[in-house]
Amino acid sequence: VILGVVLIGTLYPIVAQGFGQQVSIGPPYFNPAAGSVALMLIVVMAAGPLMRWRSDSAPKVLRRLAIPLAIGILSLLVVRLLAPDMGVLPWLGLSTAPLAGTGSIAPLWKRNLLRTPLFTWGMVVAHLGVAVALAGMAVDSAFFKERLVAVNEGETTEVGPFSVKLLSVEPIIGPNWTAIEATMEARRGDGQPFTLHPQARNYSTPPTDSSEAAITTHIDGQLYAV
C-alpha cells in the first residue's frame, strides 16, 4: 500500500508533464499520505497476533486489545498535554507506538516463556522493533530543528536550545585531502561550552567533495554542524 502511495507521487508529475503541466510533489504529499497509511497498518499489526484464525469474534478480540488500546489512548492524551504544539502525524505516531509495543508482547501473556515457540518470539521481536522504530521516527519528526544561516566570524546564531558562535574558518591539509574547517563554540542555556569542527573536504584521488559533520550527543538528542 505504501509503495503504491509512493508510486503515485513519483509518476504523477511525469504524467502531468506530458499534458503540459509542471507539478512538483515532495514531503507535503509523501509525509501525510504514507504516514497515515503506515499508522493504520501498524494498528492492524498490533491486533493481528491476538486473533485466532476462524475461531474468534469481535468481542473476544476487543477484550484482548483492551490494555493496548487503553495505553494508546493514555499516550494520546499525555503526548498532547506535554507537547501541545506537536504536529498531527508525530502526535499520532508517538501515541500509536505504545499501543503497538504493548500489542506486540500481548501474545506472551499468561504463557510459559520457556516453552514459547521460537516463531512466536520472532514475531514479538519483529513487531516490537516496528513500534520502537515508529517512536524514533515520530520523535525525530517532532523535535528536529534545522537552520541554514550565513554568519561572519564572531557572530552567534540560535538553533533550538543551543547558541552557536562561529569562531574561525581556516584551511587545513590532510593525508589525501584539503579542507575548509570551521571552529564553532556551542552552548546549551547556561551550560558549559563545547567546540565543533565541521569540514568541507576535497579529495584529490579520485576528485571528490564531501562534508564532514561535527556531531555532539546529549541524552535527549544531538547537535549537527555541517
What separation, in Å, do the N-terminal and C-terminal C-alpha atoms of the chain show? 36
Is the pLDDT at 50 greater than 80, yes or no?
A: no
- The answer to whether 197 touches 181, Cβ cutoff 8 Å, is yes
Local structure of 154: helix, strand or coil? coil
pLDDT average, residue stretch 57-81: 85
Characterize 98-130 residue by residue with b for buried, 16 or more Cβ atoms within 10 angstroms of its Cβ, and e for exposed. bbbbbbbebbeeeeeeeeeeeeeeeebeebbeb
Is the pLDDT at 186 greater than 80, yes or no?
A: yes
| Domain assignments of the chain as residue spans, ordered by start | 2-143, 156-225
Residue 26: per-residue pLDDT: 76
On whether the pTM is more than 0.85, the answer is: no
Is the pLDDT at 182 greater than 90, yes or no?
A: yes
Residue 197: per-residue pLDDT: 93
Which residue do the cell numbers 547537535 mark? 223
Q: Rounded to an integer, what distance in angstroms lies between the CA atom of residue 189 and that of residue 121? A: 45
Residue with the larger pLDDT of the pair 57 and 184:
184
* Burial class for 59, CB neighbours closer than 10 Å (0-12, 13-18, 19+): exposed
pLDDT average, residue stretch 181-191: 90
Share of the chain above pLDDT 90, in %: 16
Chain-wide mean pLDDT for the chain? 86
Is the pLDDT at 28 greater than 80, yes or no?
A: no
List the single range of 23-32, 39-48, 168-177 with lowest mean pLDDT: 23-32
Is the pLDDT at 200 greater than 90, yes or no?
A: yes
Identity of residue 44: V
Is the pLDDT at 61 greater than 80, yes or no?
A: no
- The answer to whether 145 touches 160, Cβ cutoff 8 Å, is yes
* DSSP H helices in 19-152: 27-47, 58-64, 66-82, 88-105, 118-143
pLDDT average, residue stretch 112-140: 88
Using pLDDT thresholds of 50, 70 and 90, give the confidence band for residue 112. confident
